[in-house]
Amino acid sequence: MSTPHNSAVLGQIAETVLLPGDPLRAKFIAENFLDDVEQFNAVRNMFGFTGTYNGKKVSVMGTGMGCPSIGIYSYELIHTYGVKNLIRVGSCGAYDPNLKLYDIILAIGASTDSNYAAQYALPGIYSATASWELLSKAKKAADENNIHTVVGNIVTSDVFYHDDTDSWKKWAKMGCLAAEMETYALYCNANRAGVNALTVLTVSDSIANHTETTAEQREKGFKDMMKIALELA
């Protein structure tokens, strides 16, 4: 069985899937961290691969940018292909001035300016949170490998180029560590379906400190994040 966005057949995708936004990062992860790799998707150039890590079957697939895109791919992975553990591995812009480039965030929850949860017709504002099972395992894996991590709330935004260039400061005052564009939808889909999801982020730039990495560094320089995520497989 395939979908309009994924040409995989049942059985090709592992129960645990790593989800970078950039499909080229998915390709890089497959080629550099997995063994016995098989490509299962290239529809719309949203590359997906399955291989093994320490003998365990694991998949990796790009999601694109924003809640609508990851919303489609994660929904199909869960409901069509039976994925049980969805681990977003991505980059973020730090709001907290204490965060440095390449610091790693484990996102316990995601605040948002997105309207993604409106589909559920809830009688209030939904707090999208990570799976404690994955979060606790990720923190343990990081500590055992002497990798410093920060656990906290992040912001999933629909807007990259915000008209109000100081709007981030209001989120920062509420203790939000950083911004990205996908986690809220991922957590909503996973929580609604009763499966596990976790976002692991590497700080690629600091909005607070006006520092940033290059595109090549973002693609290839996040090895500690990958070590944590792959341990969850």
Per-residue pLDDT of the chain (233 residues; tens, 9 = 90+): 789 999 999 999 999 999 999 999 999 999 999 999 999 999 999 999 999 999 999 999 999 999 999 999 999 999 999 999 999 999 999 999 999 999 999 999 999 999 999 999 999 999 999 999 999 999 999 999 999 999 999 999 999 999 999 999 999 999 999 999 999 999 999 999 999 999 999 999 999 999 998 877 766 568 899 999 999 98
Q: What pLDDT sits at residue 213?
A: 87
Nearest partner of 155 among 170, 134, 171, judged by Cα: 171
In a domain, 52, yes or no: yes
Residue 3 domain-assigned? no
Determine, yes or no, domain membership for 2: no
- Quote the CA–CA distance of 230 and 213 in Å, as a whole number: 23
- Pure H helices in 34-106: 67-79
Residue 217 located in a structural domain? yes
CATH number, domain at 169?
A: 3.40.50.1580
String of b and e for 105-142 (b: at least 16 CB within 10 Å)? Answer: bbbbbbbbebebbeeeeeeeebebbbbeebbebbbebb
For residue 52, the cross-strand partners are 35, 57
Count how many domains the chain has. Answer: 1
The answer to whether position 9 is within a domain reads: no
Residue 57 falls inside a structural domain: yes
In sign, the C-alpha dihedral spanning 104, 33, 86, 196 is negative
Q: Which residues are catalytic?
A: 205
- Tell me if 180 is assigned to some domain: yes
Half-sphere exposure (CA, 13 Å, Cβ side) for 29?
Answer: 36
Q: Is residue 10 part of a domain?
A: no
Q: What is the pLDDT of residue 221?
A: 61
What are the tokens at 197?
A: 């999801």
Structural domain boundaries, residue 99:
16-231
The SS3 call for residue 95 is coil
